């Protein structure tokens, strides 16, 4: 196959931090090339260089044999390169249509031709296979729906090369499968795909070749059909990981979290849930089934419609983040960018802010103590950073996720709520997070988590609750767990549209 894009000896540093060091790749026309690596390996920075968002310090780019120098994303788009970002770049105050055509609006007599714009939006959404009202404001969409809008926007460019940076991080397994099928169709149409993902099954399914980055350098390459899981993991982390989850049983104590006649929102039906000390309980279901609303209702982000919440027999009255935290509940939210990380603050401030809201007044602060807490968080979660003072927005997405988890653990909670706990986290860091969760459970922490990844749910949970259309469809013990059993409960209808 003829090379569409060649990147040669690409290097990039931010201050004293070298992110990319002499990285080279090529991608052919109609090829799916996946780029894998640990958090902080330089994958997202490399994708940004190819799409004109970041300029390299050295190296060269050739597109269809001609050297190119992108100084702006618009230049890359005009050259036929589009990118779907890991962190979504949408205007919340605009509609789906307006976001899809932002900067490329259709005009008639000097005014927006909204009918023509709507037709373009519908075509892009239909190509993706998404049922979504193009007149809806983005602010009203779920994280998964926003991800679909971002993908549809890039598809509307009619690009020669599409770059996907963790595109399924907000999608259920069903929706992710639909996206992978779309990518395969694009390949058959001659479109080249650069696919950045931590989800190894996806990489194995669609890739013609896989290139790994480690510490900003090329660390290996594999071609289909040699994409075995153990080879990919070794190429990514430089060592073998035989058991990703490391599940082991542990003593289960008394009820730590009890929900009685709990109704998270008007669309939910009342149900009871009990999570015991030392127990890890998973909640799963299709995107839009109402999983996230349950955790947000418990934590009081959106107060539940009805029901009681008790933590170790003490009732939580007037649920709010402050009262929930004071009673020993901590929440890792679904959206790291919008609900989790404070981008312009330091790593240290991000970690200790929940401690201030739990018990301190935020006026008299012990800086040395706070720094020690942040350093312990960095060490225990293996956060790649320059130190506690590093600004959060300069961390990779996976390391930001670790910071948010560290913030939860800094309050020493009795009940830990996790919404997509390993979204955007590499395989090595996932193993570390799972190990930490099992250690916390062994010490008596009650853990209730939501995940779209069935493999993660099965690998981590003692019990699984399956939600569909706001209803608790069933509960599965560990012995009953399987993808088939979960999907049978999660999919009472043949097709569920977004």
**Tell me, what's the pLDDT at 298?**
95
Helix (H) or strand (E) holding 353: helix 347-358
pLDDT tens digit sequence for 111-149: 888 999 999 899 888 877 778 899 999 999 876 788 788
**Tell me, what's the pLDDT at 107?**
84
For the chain, the distance separating the N- and C-terminal CA atoms, rounded to the nearest angstrom, is: 37
In terms of Cα–Cα distance, which of 133, 132, 135, 129 is closest to 114?
A: 135
Q: Is 434 helix (H, G, I), strand (E, B) or coil?
A: helix
In the listed set 210, 237, 264, which residue is the last one of a domain according to the structure? 237
Average pLDDT for the chain: 86
CATH number of the domain to which 471 belongs: 3.40.50.300
- pTM (global) more than 0.75: no
pLDDT at 496 over 50: no
The more confidently predicted of residues 32 and 359 is 32
Looking at the fold, whether 274 and 216 belong to one and the same domain comes out as no
Structural domain that includes position 22: 3-237
Categorize the per-residue pLDDT at 154 as very low, low, confident or very high, splitting at 50, 70 and 90: confident
**Tell me, what's the pLDDT at 394?**
82
Looking at the fold, whether 189 and 262 belong to one and the same domain comes out as no
**Tell me, what's the pLDDT at 162?**
92
**Tell me, what's the pLDDT at 498?**
30
pLDDT at 493 over 60: no
**Tell me, what's the pLDDT at 14?**
85
Look at 183-197, 356-370, 403-417, 454-468 and tell me which has the smallest mean pLDDT.
356-370
Looking at the fold, whether 218 and 116 belong to one and the same domain comes out as yes
Q: Average of pLDDT values for 154-171?
A: 83
Looking at the fold, whether 268 and 308 belong to one and the same domain comes out as yes
Q: Is residue 71 part of a domain?
A: yes
pLDDT at 1 over 80: no
Per-residue tokens: 425 = 């986290």
**Tell me, what's the pLDDT at 296?**
93
Looking at the fold, whether 24 and 108 belong to one and the same domain comes out as yes
Q: Is residue 398 part of a domain?
A: yes
**Tell me, what's the pLDDT at 76?**
92
In the listed set 237, 271, 292, which residue is the last one of a domain according to the structure? 237
Q: Across the beta sheet with 314-315, what order do the strands follow?
A: 271-276, 255-263, 306-311, 314-315
CA–CA distance, 447 with 201 (Å, rounded to integer): 26
Q: Is residue 247 part of a domain?
A: no
Q: What total of structural domains would you count in the chain?
A: 2
Q: Check if the beta carbon of residue 268 is closer than 8 Å to that of residue 290.
A: yes
Categorize the per-residue pLDDT at 211 as very low, low, confident or very high, splitting at 50, 70 and 90: very high
**Tell me, what's the pLDDT at 410?**
85
Looking at the fold, whether 303 and 438 belong to one and the same domain comes out as yes
Looking at the fold, whether 71 and 12 belong to one and the same domain comes out as yes
Categorize the per-residue pLDDT at 365 as very low, low, confident or very high, splitting at 50, 70 and 90: low
Q: Is residue 410 part of a domain?
A: yes
Looking at the fold, whether 362 and 453 belong to one and the same domain comes out as yes
Looking at the fold, whether 369 and 301 belong to one and the same domain comes out as yes
Q: Is residue 248 part of a domain?
A: no
pLDDT at 24 over 90: yes
Helix (H) or strand (E) holding 293: helix 291-299
Looking at the fold, whether 420 and 331 belong to one and the same domain comes out as yes
Give the position of tokens 């809806």: 136
In terms of Cα–Cα distance, which of 287, 331, 228 is closest to 469?
A: 287
The more confidently predicted of residues 262 and 288 is 262
Looking at the fold, whether 70 and 188 belong to one and the same domain comes out as yes
Q: Is residue 242 part of a domain?
A: no
> Would you say how long the chain is, in residues?
498
**CA dihedral in degrees (282, 285, 290, 293; nearest 10)?**
30
Q: Average of pLDDT values for 362-388?
A: 80
Look at 44-53, 264-273, 431-440 and tell me which has the smallest mean pLDDT.
431-440
φ/ψ of 165, rounded to 5, equals -105, 100
In the listed set 180, 203, 237, which residue is the last one of a domain according to the structure? 237
The more confidently predicted of residues 91 and 147 is 91
pLDDT at 311 over 90: yes
Q: Average of pLDDT values for 95-103?
A: 89
Categorize the per-residue pLDDT at 368 as very low, low, confident or very high, splitting at 50, 70 and 90: confident
Residue 62: CB atoms within 10 Å: 15
Q: Is residue 63 part of a domain?
A: yes
pLDDT tens digit sequence for 420-446: 888 777 777 788 889 889 999 999 999
pLDDT tens digit sequence for 314-331: 999 889 998 999 999 999
**Tell me, what's the pLDDT at 495?**
34
Q: Is residue 243 part of a domain?
A: no
Looking at the fold, whether 475 and 338 belong to one and the same domain comes out as yes
DSSP state of 269: P
**Tell me, what's the pLDDT at 369?**
84
Residue 345: CB atoms within 10 Å: 14
**Tell me, what's the pLDDT at 497?**
32
Give the position of tokens 């004071």: 326
Residues of the chain with pLDDT > 90, as a percent, come to 43
């Amino acid at each position: 196959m003829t090379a569409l894009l060649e990147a040669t000896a690409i290097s990039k540093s931010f201050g004293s931090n070298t992110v990319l060091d002499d990285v080279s790749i090529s991608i052919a026309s109609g090829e799916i090339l996946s780029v894998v690596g640990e958090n902080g390996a330089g994958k997202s920075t490399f994708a940004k260089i190819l799409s004109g968002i970041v300029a390299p310090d050295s190296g060269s780019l050739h597109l269809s044999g001609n050297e190119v120098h992108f100084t702006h994303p618009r230049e890359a788009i005009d050259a036929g390169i589009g990118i779907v970002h890991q962190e979504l770049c949408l205007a919340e105050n605009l509609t789906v249509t307006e976001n899809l055509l932002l900067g490329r609006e259709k005009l008639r007599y000097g005014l927006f031709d909204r009918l023509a714009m709507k037709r373009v939006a519908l075509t892009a959404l239909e190509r993706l296979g998404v049922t979504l009202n193009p007149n809806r404001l983005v602010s009203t969409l779920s994280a998964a729906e926003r991800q679909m809008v971002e993908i549809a926007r890039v598809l509307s460019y009619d690009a020669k090369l599409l770059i996907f940076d963790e595109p399924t991080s907000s999608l259920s397994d069903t929706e992710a499968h639909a996206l992978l099928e779309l990518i395969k169709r694009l390949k058959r149409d001659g479109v080249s795909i650069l696919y950045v993902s931590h989800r190894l099954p996806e990489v194995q399914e669609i890739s013609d070749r896989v290139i790994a980055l480690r510490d900003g350098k090329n660390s290996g390459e594999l071609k289909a059909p040699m994409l075995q899981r153990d080879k990919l993991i070794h190429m990514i982390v430089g060592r073998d990981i035989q058991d990703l989850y490391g599940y082991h049983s542990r003593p289960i104590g008394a009820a730590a979290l009890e929900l009685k006649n709990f109704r998270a929102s008007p669309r939910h039906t009342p149900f009871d849930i009990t999570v015991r000390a030392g127990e890890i309980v998973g909640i799963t279901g299709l995107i839009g089934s109402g999983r996230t609303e349950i955790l947000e209702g418990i934590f009081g982000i959106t107060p539940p419609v009805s029901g009681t919440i008790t933590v170790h027999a003490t009732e939580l009255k007037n649920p709010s983040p402050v009262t929930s935290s004071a009673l020993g509940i901590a929440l890792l939210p679904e959206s790291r960018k919008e609900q989790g990380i404070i981008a312009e603050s330091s790593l240290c401030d991000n970690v200790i802010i929940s401690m201030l809201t739990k018990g301190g007044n935020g006026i008299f602060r012990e800086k040395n103590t706070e720094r020690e807490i942040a350093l312990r968080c960095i060490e225990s979660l293996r956060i790649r950073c320059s130190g506690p003072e590093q600004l959060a927005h300069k961390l990779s997405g996976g390391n930001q996720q670790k910071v948010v988890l560290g913030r939860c653990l800094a309050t020493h909670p009795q009940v830990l709520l996790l919404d997509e706990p390993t979204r955007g986290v590499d395989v090595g860091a996932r193993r570390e997070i799972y190990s930490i969760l099992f250690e916390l459970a062994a010490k008596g922490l009650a853990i209730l988590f939501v995940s779209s990844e069935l493999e993660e749910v099965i690998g981590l949970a003692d019990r699984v609750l399956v939600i569909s259309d706001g209803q608790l469809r069933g509960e599965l013990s560990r012995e009953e767990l399987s993808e088939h059993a979960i999907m049978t409960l999660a999919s009472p209808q043949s097709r569920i549209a977004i």
